[in-house]
Amino acid sequence: MKWTYSIKNKLVASIVLIALCLLVLLSNYLDQLHTENVKNSISTMYDDRLVVENYILKMAQNTYEIREILQDNEKPDLTNAMVNLTKEFNTTFAIFSKTKLTKIEKETADELIGNFKKLEDIISRSQNVPFIQTDSILASLTKLSVIQLDESKLIMQQVESQYAAIKVTSQFAFALIIVILIVLQILVFSGESLIPLFKTKDASLN
């Protein structure tokens, strides 16, 4: 009877220890997974939002400078500066268009480059460019800037959600580990308490 109970106790204890090891490994894996997701979210915000915002600011600066030059009546200055600015704008836009864009960003970007091409076409035919043409470009750039802010907020919400998930998972795993250790202790002590009950009586005592 004693050896049967001992084997059963050891078997349960082994299962509990294996469960404890698996739980620790699972908890560690989930922590690493959540941490990696947080890193990716932060990297996405930097590469696709903060850097992109810098491109938008450069294009806005080019547009304001183009507007100022269009107010200048000196033809040589207009031609030379305009060529440089339009080239810089198109180069920056090409880099911007290769970043990760949402559907609404893509639509706004198409609107932006369409308005800029119209501006280039008007400039090639005449010096008299209405302000409304540069205004439409700046309006598109403003839309893109607002999108960056909204997307950055969404990313931060995802980071906070992932961090909360890490915290909850860690707390749950810690609680389970404590429960398993308590169960293991109960098994150990219950096994020890049964030993005296099954000891063979000393024959000399009879």
Average pLDDT over residues 57-61: 94
Reported as a single tens digit per residue, the pLDDT across 167-194 is 777 777 777 777 777 777 776 666 544 4
Going by pLDDT thresholds of 50, 70 and 90, the confidence category of residue 129 is low
Going by pLDDT thresholds of 50, 70 and 90, the confidence category of residue 138 is very high
Sorted by sequence, the CB contacts under 8 Å of residue 30 that are 6+ apart come out as 166, 169, 173
Which pair of structure tokens corresponds to residue 119? Answer: 């501006």
Check residue 48 and give its pLDDT. Answer: 65
Statement: the pTM of the whole predicted model exceeds 0.75: no
**Given a cut of 60, is residue 89 above it in pLDDT?**
yes
Give the class (CATH, top level) of 2-198.
mainly alpha
